């Protein structure tokens, strides 16, 4: 009777995946770590995100700088006759003067420089958005892996506890001559295997926790708590809608579009470099009280005399940069479409597998375990068959949560390309 009770308890425990237990097997209660809180902390403390934000802010300061006239120059002059220091009132040639000059670029150059800088700032803004979304995606992928590993550890510990009961039953049956030694040895081997598996899972958990701490900008020893339960997010959009969103909403695509616009303006600027710049200056010269003061105004023209060695190559450089930006844009669009389709197919495949686990594999394995339990009770199957049935259902349960994590990770990887949230918060 005791054996039947233990086996029924084991059968009931294997069905617990549907109930999604809310705690891990710890003696002390640990605070659940919210993904939403992690994402907020990521936005505030991740150094890569902060660097991208400052880079964008710096870019917004540049249009005004490059669109403003060069600083004027103030000059002070001294003209001596017969000596280094001028002596006023002794010669009508000696003077001391003060003047100001201003360089004036050819009309349109400053406006084009400002426009190009604005486009570059727009590109940096989109790159900041891309960095934020990609870091959030990496955090989600790590978090879902963390939650899956926690669930696998829970299942493995439950399996270990059940096997310890079975091993005790096998030893008791062997001691009274109703069982064989192989049953005891097989149970002990399974327990050793589970101990090894727990060790590997613990190592994986430590690695993924280190990745989360890195993304959050925390110290390596900072506690994270425990992950929340994994939940299935419904993928209620089709592939074509996602591909269309990737073309329109991807921050990296938009950033490259602004960069193309900036490079196109750069080509126009390079053509303006063939035009001369100007300069004007005004000077007042004081010659002393005995002589009248002088006033001088001058105009300058900076001639692009060496255009075949300077401006021509500058124009060719601008054209090459524009073509490079266009090809990069094509590459980013193609890569985005490929990755979105790849992860979409992976998510759909996971959905089908999860449905098979819930509606077929695990219920069938549960029934098989019940049948094996009854058959073992009347001596129709041996203890090894019972252990195999139990091992199968626990393996399926762990695979279920692994596949659930893969589904959520696939959606998280799509999010930076489509600019929308697909996973549950």
Specify the pLDDT at position 15: 43
3-state class of 180 per DSSP?
coil
Specify the pLDDT at position 26: 41
Strand partners for 355 = none
Q: What is the mean pLDDT of residues 188-193?
A: 79
Q: What is the mean pLDDT of residues 274-289?
A: 90
Which pLDDT band, with edges at 50, 70 and 90, does 257 fall under? very high
Q: What are phi and psi of 281, to 5 degrees?
A: -145, 150
Q: What is the mean pLDDT of residues 311-329?
A: 94
Supply the angle between the helices 383-418 and 362-377 in degrees, to the nearest 10. 170
Tell me how far apart the 2 most distant CA atoms of the chain are, in Å. 137
pLDDT at 63 over 80: yes
Average pLDDT, the chain: 84
Q: What percent of the chain has pLDDT over 90?
A: 53
pLDDT at 13 over 50: no
- Taking alpha carbons only, the member of 96, 208, 109 closest to residue 153 is 208
Specify the pLDDT at position 403: 93
Q: How far apart are the first and last CA of the chain?
A: 48
Q: Between 3.30.565.10, 3.40.50.300, 1.10.472.10, 1.20.1600.10, what CATH number should domain 2-418 receive? A: 1.20.1600.10
Which pLDDT band, with edges at 50, 70 and 90, does 173 fall under? low
Domain extent listing, the chain = 2-418
Specify the pLDDT at position 170: 67
Instruction: Encode pLDDT of 135-172 as tens digits.
Output: 999 999 999 999 999 999 998 888 888 777 776 766 76
Any long-range contacts for 166-171 (C-beta under 8 Å, 24+ apart)?
166/6, 166/10, 166/383, 166/386, 166/387, 166/390, 167/191, 169/2, 169/3, 169/6, 170/383
Specify the pLDDT at position 349: 94
Q: What is the mean pLDDT of residues 252-278?
A: 94
Instruction: Encode pLDDT of 333-375 as tens digits.
Output: 999 999 999 999 999 999 999 999 988 888 888 888 778 777 7
């Amino acid at each position: 009777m005791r054996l039947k009770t233990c086996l029924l308890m084991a059968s009931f425990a294997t069905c617990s995946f549907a109930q999604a237990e809310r705690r891990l097997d710890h003696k002390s209660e640990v605070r659940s770590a919210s993904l939403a809180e992690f994402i907020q902390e990521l936005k505030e403390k991740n150094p890569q995100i902060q660097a991208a934000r400052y880079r964008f802010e710096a870019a917004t300061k540049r249009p005004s700088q490059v669109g403003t006239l060069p600083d004027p120059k103030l000059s002070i002059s001294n003209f001596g006759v017969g000596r280094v220091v001028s002596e006023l009132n002794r010669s009508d040639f000696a003077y001391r003067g003060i003047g100001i000059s201003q360089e004036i670029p050819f009309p349109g150059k400053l406006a084009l420089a400002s426009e190009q800088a604005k486009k570059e700032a727009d590109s940096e803004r989109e790159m900041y958005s891309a960095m934020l979304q990609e870091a959030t995606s990496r955090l989600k992928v790590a978090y879902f892996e963390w939650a899956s590993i926690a669930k696998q550890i829970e299942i493995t510990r439950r399996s270990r506890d059940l096997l310890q009961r079975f091993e005790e039953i096998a030893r008791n049956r062997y001691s009274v001559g109703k069982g064989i030694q192989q049953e005891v040895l097989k149970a002990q081997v399974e327990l050793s295997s589970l101990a090894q598996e727990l060790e590997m899972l613990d190592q994986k958990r430590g690695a993924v926790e280190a990745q989360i701490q890195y993304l959050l900008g925390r110290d390596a020893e900072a506690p994270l708590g425990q992950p929340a339960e994994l939940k299935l997010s419904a993928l209620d959009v089709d592939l074509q809608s996602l591909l269309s969103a990737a073309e329109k909403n991807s921050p990296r695509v938009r950033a490259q579009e602004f960069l193309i616009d900036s490079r196109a303006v750069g080509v126009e600027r390079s053509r303006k470099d063939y035009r001369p710049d100007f300069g004007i200056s005004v000077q007042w010269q004081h010659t002393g009280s005995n002589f009248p003061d002088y006033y001088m105004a001058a105009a300058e023209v900076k001639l692009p005399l060496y255009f075949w060695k300077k401006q021509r190559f500058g124009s060719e450089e601008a054209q090459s940069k524009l073509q490079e930006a266009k090809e990069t844009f094509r590459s980013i669009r193609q890569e985005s479409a490929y990755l979105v389709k790849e992860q979409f197919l992976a998510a759909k495949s996971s959905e089908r597998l999860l449905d098979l686990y819930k509606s077929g594999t695990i219920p069938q394995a549960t029934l098989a375990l019940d049948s094996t339990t009854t058959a073992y009770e009347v001596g129709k199957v041996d203890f090894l068959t019972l252990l195999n049935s139990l091992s199968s259902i626990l393996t399926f349960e762990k695979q279920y949560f692994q596949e659930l994590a893969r589904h959520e990770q696939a959606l998280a990887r799509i999010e930076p390309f489509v600019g929308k949230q697909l996973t549950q918060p």
